[in-house]
Chain A
Amino acid sequence: MNDVKETIRQFILSAHLAGESPDNLKDDTPLQSSGILDSLATLGLISFVEQQFHIELDVYDTSVERFDRIQDIAASVVRKRAVGALPS
C-alpha cells in the first residue's frame, strides 16, 4: 500500500508539481477538487495508474470522490489488484 502511494506521489510531483516539497503532497491532499490536477492532468494520472499497476479503472473508480486523494487512489489499486489475482 505504501509503495503504491509513493509511486503515485512521485508521478504527480514530477508531472505537475515540479519544485514542490514532497512533504506538502500528503496522502489526503485533495487533487482534483483543489485544482492541483485539472481534467487533462487527471486523465494522465488515470492512464499512469492503469499502466503502472496493470489494472483497468472504470467511471466509478475515477469519480471525483474516489480519485481525489492519493490514499483513495491507492486503495482502489490495491483492491483491483487483489481481484485480478484471484484464480478465475
Chain B
Amino acid sequence: MIARHLADYLEASAARCPERNAVVDSKGSVTYSELNRQADALAAFLVSRGVKRGDRVGVVLPKSIQAVVALFGIMKAGAAFVPVDYTAPAERGRRILTDCQISALVVDGRCLGVIPEQDQAGTTLATVVVVGAFSNATAPASPMTSFEAAVERSDGRGGPTGPPVGARRTADLAYILYTSGSTGMPKGVMLTHENALSFVEWCSSVFEPTESDRFSSHAPFHFDLSVLDIYVPIKHGASVFLISEELGKNPKDLARFIASNRLTVWYSTPSILMLLLQFATLDAREVPDLRLVLFAGEVFPVKHLREVQRRWPSPTYYNLYGPTETNVCTFAKIPSTIPDERDVPYPIGFACSHCASLVLDEDGREVEAGKEGLLYISGPSVFGGYWNRPSENAAAFIDRSGVRWYNTGDLVRWDSAQGFIYAGRKDRMVKRRGYRIELGEIERALYLHPRLREVAVISVPDADSGVKVVAFFSCHEGDAPSIIELKTFCASKLPAYMSPDRFIVERRLPRTSTDKVDYQALKAAALPPAVV
C-alpha cells in the first residue's frame, strides 16, 4: 500500500492486525480496531457539526489514548490538528488557537481557559469536545460535547458509520506545530500529509520497525519529535507507549517504565537521557529488548552520551537532526563504542534520502567543504510555510533553478567523512532541553511587567545544561521587583522551559553608538570570569 494520508497507516494496520495494542497510556490500552473506530466516530461527529476539509481543530490534552484518537479523528475529517501545550499558561494557548482560527476544539475539562473569545462577527466554535469533567460555570458560548458522546458507537446513535467520504490529498494540511516566534507571537509551522509521510517512510527504511516493536513516546504532541513516535509504530502495527507529562518528569519512575514495558525503541532529546543518567540507575539487564536509541533536538555532550552508551551498550544510537520545518533531514549513526579521547559532539551527519542539502554563505554563494555556512534543505518533507506570515515565508525560502530551499538558519561545516558538523546560529534562537526558544519572545513577555523599563535576554554557554538564559532589566522609578516575583510572572506568561535562569538588574542597559541595546556587552557581563 502506498499511503497518501497519515490516517491510511492507521486504517491499514487496523485491517491487518485489529486486535494488536496500538497505544498504551497510564490508564490502559487500545487496539488498532478500536482506535480506528473511535477516530472514525470522532471524524463523523466533527463533520456533522460543520468541520470541513482544510479547517483547523485545536487539541489541548494531556498525552493519552483520547489525544491520539483526536489527532486521527481530526485528520480523518479532512482537517488539520493544532496541538497546544496544556501545561503552558492558557493565555499563550488562546493566542495560538486564535491565530490559526480554529473551527473546533478537543480539550481537557481543566483547560477551558484556552478557548478563544468570539471574534468580532460573533462567530463561535462549531463544537468543543471535552475530555473529563468540566464545570458549566466556565462553559463558553460554543456548544460542548463530552468526548465519550462524540466517539460512542455510531450504531447506538443512528449516526453515520465509517470515515467521512471525500478525496484525500497528500498536499492537504495535516497539522500545524507552533514554535517560539522572535516577535513574541508563536508562529505556526504548516505541515502537510506528504511532509510527514516522506519522513515516516524514510524512518521505515532505516530503522526497519516490525509489529513486535514497542516504541516510547516521550515528547509532547506539540513537539515535532512526536511525529516519529506516533506514525512510525502505527504504520507498522507496533505499539506506542505514551509517557505522561508527570512520568516524564520523574527519572526513577521513567527508568522503571522503560524496563517494565520492555521498550525496543527510545526517542527523546539528549536532556531526557541525561536526566535518566543523573537521577536513575540505567541497567542493561533491565532493557534486553532495547534495540534503538534515537535522540534529536539539541547537541548531546559526548561525555554524557558515552556514559549512556556504557550503561546501555546493546542498542544502536542515532543522532537525528532537523528543524520542525523540515522534519528530520540529516542523521548520523553513533559508533558502537565511543572512544575515550573523543570530546567533540557527534556530527549531524548526512542528508536523509528524502532530502537534499546545500551550504551557502550569506550572499547565497556555495561554501567549500570545511568552511562554515548556512544549511539549506529541500525535499518532500519540507513544510509549505508559516501560518499567515507572508513576510517570514518570503525570508525562509530561496529558489535555485526552480527548486525551493528552506534556510534552516543553522551554521554547519561539511566534512566528507562525517557529513555535516553543527556550528551554531547567528540569530537569537536557542535550544534549551530540545525546545526552540526565541529570546525575543521572553523579552516580550517581560515587557508586560508594569515596572520593567528595559529588558534584554541573552543566552550563554553552560557546561552542565548546554545553555543558560539570562535576563537583564532596568526599572521605572521605585523598587525593582524581586527575582521571585519575576520568576512567578514568567510562569504566568511563558512555558516553563522559557523562564530565564538568571535575572540581573541594571540601572540602565548598555547601548551601542546607534542607541540599540548592546547585547555583546551584556554577554560579556554574564559570562563567568575566565580562569587564568
Contacts and interface: CB of A to CB of B under 8 A. Distances in A.
B4 interface: no
Interface in A31-71: 34-36, 38-40, 43, 47, 59
Overall SS of chain A's interface = loop
Given A20-B482, A24-B484, A29-B484, A35 B250 contact: no
A35 B483 contact: no
Interface of B is mostly: helix
Contacts of A25: 484
A40 B484 contact: no
B492 interface: yes
A43 B491 contact: no
Nearest to B279: A43
Chain B contact-residue range equals: 20 to 34
Interface stretch (B106-114, B343-351, B357-365, B498-506): B498-506
A19 interface: yes
Contact of B484 (A18, A36, A43): A36
A83 interface: no
Given A35-B487, A35-B490, A43 B251 contact: yes
B483 A20 contact: yes
A35 B492 CA distance: 8
A18 B470 CA distance: 11
A59 B250 CA distance: 9
Contact of B488 (A16, A20, A34, A39): A34
A59 B484 contact: no
Contacts of A40: 275, 433
A19 B338 CA distance: 40
B504 A35 contact: no
A47 B499 CA distance: 22
B311 interface: no
B148 interface: no
A19 B501 CA distance: 12
Given A19-B503, A47-B279, A59-B250, A38 B484 contact: no
Contacts of B492: 35
Contacts of A88: none
B249 interface: yes
B496 interface: yes
Contacts of B253: 59
Nearest to A35: B491
A16 B484 CA distance: 10
B483 A17 contact: yes
Interface of B: 249-251, 253, 275, 278-279, 433, 482-484, 487-488, 490-492, 496-497, 499, 501-505
Interface of A: 16-21, 24-25, 29, 34-36, 38-40, 43, 47, 59
Sorted nearest first, the 8 A-B pairs with minimum C-beta distance are A35-B491, A20-B483, A39-B249, A38-B496, A34-B488, A24-B482, A36-B487, A17-B483
